[in-house]
Amino acid sequence: MSLKEDIADRADIVRLVDAFYERVRVDDLLSPVFAHVNWTAHLPVMHNFWSSLVFGDGSYNGNPFARHKDLAIGAVHFERWLFLFTQTIDELFEGPRASEVKQRASNIAGVFKYKMGLG
């Protein structure tokens, strides 16, 4: 029996996003891509993005693809991003909403790769 619970509220989204980006910051492949990021400004935007996707709270207003389309990244970056994101969810949460968030992340990575001509 697992002691993990499902993603239930915005506090869980904050926990997930913060834990995920801690991994990104030390990842050999992804950390250089994020070296320029102002984390104080970026993390609340990511909290809003995922909260909007998961709970439909309308806290995010933006165009995430526009922020990524000109970065020097390839399919391998999206694969690593998805691996770390999924790994973070699996370590923290379990349940239908956690599964939904993993699927949404996979869809986002796929769409971005397609739009960038990476696959």
Whole-number pLDDT of residue 1: 60
Whole-number pLDDT of residue 70: 77
Contact 119, 76 (CB under 8 A): no
Which domains can be identified in the chain, with CATH numbers? 10-115 (1.10.490.10)
H-helix or E-strand spanning residue 51: helix 39-55
Q: What DSSP line would sit under 86-112, residue for residue?
A: HHHHHHHB-SHHHHHHHHHHHHHHHHH
Whole-number pLDDT of residue 32: 95
Q: Give the closest residue to 55 by CA, choosing from 92, 101, 95.
A: 101
Query: Which pTM was predicted?
Result: 0.92
Tens-level pLDDT at each residue, the chain (119 residues): 668 999 999 999 999 999 999 999 999 999 999 998 999 999 999 999 999 999 999 999 988 888 777 778 889 999 999 999 999 999 999 999 999 999 999 999 999 999 999 87
